Amino acid sequence: MNQNEKGGFGDNATITLNAGAVANETVGIEGFYEVKCHDKDGNLKWEDSFPNLVNAVGKELMLDTLLKGSSYSVTGPFLGLISGASPTFGTGSDTQTSHAGWTEFVNYTVGGSAVRGTAVFASATSSGSTPSNVTTSAAAAITYTITGAGGTVGGCFLVTGSGATSAQSNTGGTLYSAGAFTTAKVTTAGDTVSVTYSTTATS
């Protein structure tokens, strides 16, 4: 009698390894204006608040200063008012020398002089990481006293960097941000317009 025995043996293992996983972090930067207008007797006439984009040249200045290491000292920043009932803005492409959609409003004084206000920023603070990190730096409120014929104010802008000055209508410096009110506001001589600006980075 013949007897055949067959035996089969086998091992099988599957191993999967994922290495080098990367968590992406994005950062968005925007500005925020808060504006209040009082008449010559101190009565509140109107108020508005609105976010705005930081212009491309403003972001470039920020990154060149922080990361590239270019020599830089703060000039200003100077905060001005925008004229007109319906200003328009490029999608972050406006510069201080080229912004066809709006003009500067100049019928005001700051501290008795016909100059843009100087934005004095406090140290930045962060909110933590849940659900996102929000880092903010805010400037002290600047008061503009309306003079002459007054007029329609359509928004605000912030200019800084080399060449920036407090002189009204000056085109030097880097346009950091500019934005429009939800609706344009009419001012008359003797009104005071108070503007608070903050800039926020969110990740």
pLDDT tens-digit series, residues 65-104: 777 766 666 788 999 999 999 999 888 899 999 999 999 9
pLDDT tens-digit series, residues 145-201: 999 999 999 999 999 988 999 999 999 999 999 999 989 999 999 999 999 999 888
24, two tokens: 């992406």
Length of the chain: 203
CB 44 within 8 A of CB 37: yes
- The amino acid sitting at 91 is T
Non-local (6+) Cβ contacts of 30 within 8 A are 51, 52, 53, 54, 199, 200, 202
176, two tokens: 């950091």
pLDDT at 46 over 80: yes
